[in-house]
Amino acid sequence: AQTVTQSQPEMSVQEAETVTLSCTYDTSESDYYLFWYKQPPSRQMILVIRQEAYKQQNATENRFSVNFQKAAKSFSLKISDSQLGDAAMYFCAYSTGANSKLTFGKGITLSVRP
Amino acid sequence: DTGVSQDPRHKITKRGQNVTFRCDPISEHNRLYWYRQTLGQGPEFLTYFQNEAQLEKSRLLSDRFSAERPKGSFSTLEIQRTEQGDSAMYLCASRLPWGEKLFFGSGTQLSVL
C-alpha cells in the first residue's frame, strides 16, 4: 500500500523569506503522480503543484517549486518570497494516475510572520 | 465555472439519526470522489464514481454508508444510524476524464452529538 509521510506538524516563516516543507512516500509503482495541496481556513483544497514521476525536471509554479528525489522517495515543497496569504495547511499527496484516487499525508500547518 | 458545490456546509445531528449530503460536480466532470477528513489528518478516500457507476469503495465505507450518483451528475452520500466517530468533514471532488487535476468542494462538516 502506498503511504505518504509528513513528519513536521507545524512550520513558521517570516514574510518574504523561503520555507521548505518535507514529504516522503512509499510505493512499489514506477509511474505515479505527486501533489502538494493547500487548505486555507475556507477548507477548500487547492492544488499548488504536481509532479509526474517519469519527469526528471522538478516542477515549478511561480513562487512554488519542488525537489523531487525519486530514488529517495522524497518530494519537498519550497515556497519563495512567502506571503501572508500562504498561511494554511499543506498536504502532500500521491496517486497512481489510473483513477486519481489520492493518498494524503497528515499535513503541515504553515504560519507566516509579518 | 461555479466549481464543486457541496450542501450543506454544516450538519449537526444526534447519534442514531440518518444524514444525507449532496455534491454537485463541475459540469462535464465524469469522475466524482468522496473523501473524509478528521481533525489533524489528511483526507481519506471513501469512494468514487465514473459517470453513474461506483467503481471503488474504501474499507472505511461501512455498511452504514451509501453513495449514489443516479444520473451521472450530482452525488449523495448517506450515513445511517450515525455514530460519534462519524464526525468529520466530508469532501467531494471531481475531474475531467483526461485530466489529473482534482477540483474539490468546500466540504460538509458533520458533528454527531
pLDDT in tens, chain A (114 residues): 789 999 999 999 999 999 999 999 999 888 899 999 999 988 889 999 999 999 889 999 999 999 999 999 999 999 999 999 999 999 999 998 756 789 999 999 999 999
Looking at the DSSP assignment, which residues form a beta bridge with residue B19?
B79
Q: Distance (Å, rounded) from C-alpha A101 to C-alpha B102?
A: 9
Distance from CA of A103 to the nearest CA of B (A): 7
User: What CA–CA distance (Å, rounded) separates A68 from A66?
Assistant: 6
Torsion of CA A13, A14, A18, A19, to 10 degrees: 0
Contact with chain A for residue B21, Cβ under 8 A: no
**Interface contact flag, B41 A106, Cβ < 8 Å:** yes
CB contact under 8 A, B56 and A99: yes
Pick B102's closest partner by Cβ from A43, A102, A105. Answer: A102
CA-to-CA dists, residue B92 to A8, A75, A85, B17, B89, angstroms: 27, 25, 24, 22, 10
Which chain B residue is nearest to residue A45, measuring alpha carbons? B104
